[in-house]
A and B are shown apart, each in its own frame.
Chain A
Amino acid sequence: MIPILFGITLISFAVIHMAPGKPTDLVTQLNPKVSMEAREKLNKIHGLDKPLYVQYLDWIKKIGRLDFGKSFADSRPVIDKIAERLPITLLINVLSIFIIFIVSIPVGIKSALRKGAPFDKISTVAVFIGFAIPSFWLALLLISFFGVHLGILPVSGIVSLDFEKLNLLQKIFDLSRHLILPVFVLSIGGIAGFSRYMRQSMLSVEHQDYIRTARAKGLPEKEVIYRHALKNALLPIITILGLSIPALLSGSVIVEKVFSIPGMGLLMFESVFMRDYNVIMGILIVSAFLTLLGNLLADIAYVYADPRIRYEK
């Protein structure tokens, strides 16, 4: 665990220092009036005159205190900028995971049980398309259809302008209306992927000896499926959920950009455009920590779900 945290910071640091020249060059280059002296002064302020490893150590000490430095763009502390954006990103990601689960698991089970039936064929085609459809394109199509053509759903932002004036129920309604399209777009790839995994997992479990034992006992088919097969089929899904968190987070950059949602993804996009290195590093580390956290949760869930591992304790 510790080496991974360490590695994450090391790679983030390395990425930013890959560039020829110094981060401050950008600020100073734009302004030819800045003298060599001033440039060096600036370097000194940011500690850029020291050897790399010293810079790294200084930086990592700061990170330990959650101090990611200040944004080049508006001089606000990076951690504040991330903190105000993160909840929004988490909200759409958690909703999305929820949607993925409640859609893909039943779909996967049903297509596995009726392998080759019309439902399976249709869902397979849908899965392939869902897998291949570019999310930004889907977003544009949905915006032009629901937002522009029908005009029934908002296409940007997370709340309406008059949000503050609304009562709680109206607030929830307003927020939900704004979230429908982005969460749908963010979920589509996951729904496709998880339905497929669930189907595959169910199919492979169906041929296990213990399923035959359950049938030999004379259990009704429903119990065989839901008591014996499903539990085993869900096990690998837990692991895959842990592994798919980075993909979901990746997806939020595009979704937040297209729907102008002020989350961490959009912040990343803006910072990359402005080469706001401190913010970029901060987001990189926060996103990696989130992934790590997700993996940890999945591991713990797995330990509780699978008695074979639980016994190792």
Chain B
Amino acid sequence: MKNKLMLTGVIIIILLILAAVFAPKIAKYDPTYINIKEALLPPSEEHLMGTDMLGRDLFSRMLFGSRIALTIGIVAVGLAAVIGVALGSIAGYFGGKIDSVIMRFADIMLCFPAFFLILAVIAVVGPSIFNIMIIIGLTSWMGMARLIRAEILTLKTRDYVLCSRVLGASNFFIITKHLIPNGIGPVLVSFVFGVAGAILMEAGLSFLGLGVQPPDPSWGNILMEGKAVLGVGWWVILFPGLAILITVLAFNLLGEGLRDALNPRIK
């Protein structure tokens, strides 16, 4: 049953990636083309998901929205992973003062509620797709740093690492040959969950009007616009919400599956 769930997650993610990559081929309309005459049409053959209050084709906007969601999710968490793995491995492997400084820094960063910190930075640098990616990346590496540090702390006392050192291995050899291959699993899992989190974060920011700015279509800002037509255009609210839900669900399923696969003890 667990495997089936993970497989479902993987299939959804693949479909999403395909949709994002081929968005211009699939979409029948320009996602930013305004046609007030066709405003708020319910779903039909012409407009699979209907149109929004400016008469833009919702399906096309959703397709292009998936591009933004996935790009932001993957790039932001990728950045976080690079920072987290680098800092966490250094802290864990070398220990001592370096470790306390890095981890104390992470502790401090963790004291800020992520959303508040991100909003504060956005207030300063202004919202844009690029900024959002970087900001989410810079504010979400701490978990991964802690994970890889914890892994390395236990791995580096394993007998095979000690043996390797007795055999004359350099730090570089030990880190790349023993520690990272054996310790990367939890980071991978955390990466997948992180993408889900970042997609939710972007949607939330865009929903508040502080993320991706119109006319660029993001699931979050489509929802924001949908709020204005609450009660008249249910489809403008239904589809982006479902898209976020399903995407986040898919990444969470994949993450859960990966975790079980990497950690056979918990069944």
Contact = CB atoms under 8 A, between A and B. Distances in A.
A140 B227 contact: yes
Given A134-B200, A137-B223, A140-B241, A246 B113 contact: yes
Interface of A is mostly: helix
Interface stretch (B28-36, B38-46, B60-68, B122-130): B122-130
B223 A15 contact: no
B208 interface: yes
Given A15-B120, A131-B252, A4 B223 contact: no
B128 to A, nearest CB: 14
Contact of B111 (A18, A268, A288): A288
Nearest to A243: B110
Given A18-B125, A272-B210, A250 B253 contact: no
B117 A15 contact: yes
A291 B246 CA distance: 31
A134 B241 contact: yes
Contacts of A273: 209-210
Interface centre among A128, A250, A287 (most CB of B within 10 A): A250
Interface residues of B, number: 46
A19 B131 CA distance: 13
B237 to A, nearest CB: 6
A251 B117 CA distance: 13
A292 interface: yes
Contact of B112 (A16, A257, A284): A284
A254 interface: yes
Contact of A15 (B110, B114, B121, B240): B121
B252 A253 contact: no
B184 to A, nearest CB: 22
B231 interface: yes
B204 interface: yes
Interface of A: 3-4, 7-8, 11-12, 15-16, 18-19, 128-129, 131-137, 140-141, 143-144, 148, 200, 203-204, 243, 245-247, 249-251, 253-254, 257, 268-269, 271-273, 275, 277, 280-281, 283-284, 287-288, 291-292, 295
20 contacts: A11-B109, A15-B124, A18-B121, A18-B125, A128-B252, A128-B253, A132-B196, A132-B249, A136-B203, A137-B223, A137-B244, A137-B245, A140-B223, A144-B231, A144-B237, A254-B208, A272-B119, A277-B124, A288-B112, A288-B113
